[in-house]
Amino acid sequence: MNHKINGFVKTINKEDFHLVTVNKHSYYVYRYEGKINGFKNVVILISYPKEALYNEKALKSFISTDINLTTEEILFQYRERWTIEVFFGQNKMELGFDNYQLRSEKAIKRFWILTQLTYIYCTCGISTDCSKFGEGLKIARKQSQQEVIAWVYSQYKKGVSLNAIFDVLKLSHNKCA
């Protein structure tokens, strides 16, 4: 859909955008009301920050099925809940939340708790100051790799065979007959 919006936005004249202010932030917004993908009535907002009109990287689009909301109300709701959207996006992309197929309620709850603990660790537990999730995740992954390498080195120094190390790490070679 974003590719279609990127193409469509090039056909919109600057005069068709309206300057809207939400929480002291100003945006150029184009509002579409009508049918789309089987929905009878939706609102689609195409939005740019005031200082970045037609900048593809700054383009945001929003959809609402409540056509009674004003443009300002829709933008306010998205602005207020944007951190939640980012949170769920990061859970899907970085923590694999959308790749697991769990059937039991107990398994779903356990997985949810593990992903949330990972998220909290990456934002607040990885350093003394709370960092952004992505930065914390990079630090955590690097630390994890360093710990594995340090462990392998310590096993080597103890005289543990390479095959035994592979077994522990579940990296054993497939034995072909």
pLDDT digits (tens, 9 = 90+) for 113-122: 988 888 888 8
Express each pLDDT in 47-69 by its tens digit: 999 998 888 888 988 889 899 99
**Cβ atoms 118, 95 nearer than 8 A:** yes
Assigned token pair, 149: 């390498």
More confident residue, 4 or 154: 154
Residue range 24-38: average pLDDT? 88
Please give the mean pLDDT across all residues of the chain.
85
pTM passes above 0.75:
no
Alpha-carbon gap, residue 118 to 138, rounded angstroms:
12
- Assess whether pLDDT exceeds 50 at residue 43: yes
SS (H, E, C) the chain: CHHHHHHHHCCCCHHHCEEEEECCEEEEEEEEEEEECCEEEEEEEEEEEHHHCCCHHHCEEEEECCCCCCHHHHHHHHHHHHHHHHHHHHHHHCCCCCCCCCCCHHHHHHHHHHHHHHHHHHHHHCCCCCCCHHHHHHHHHHHHHHHHHHHHHHHHHCCCCHHHHHHHCCCCCCCCC
Percent of the chain at pLDDT above 70? 92
Express each pLDDT in 151-161 by its tens digit: 999 999 999 99
- Assess whether pLDDT exceeds 60 at residue 3: no
In the prediction, which pLDDT does 149 show? 94
Residue range 92-104: average pLDDT? 77
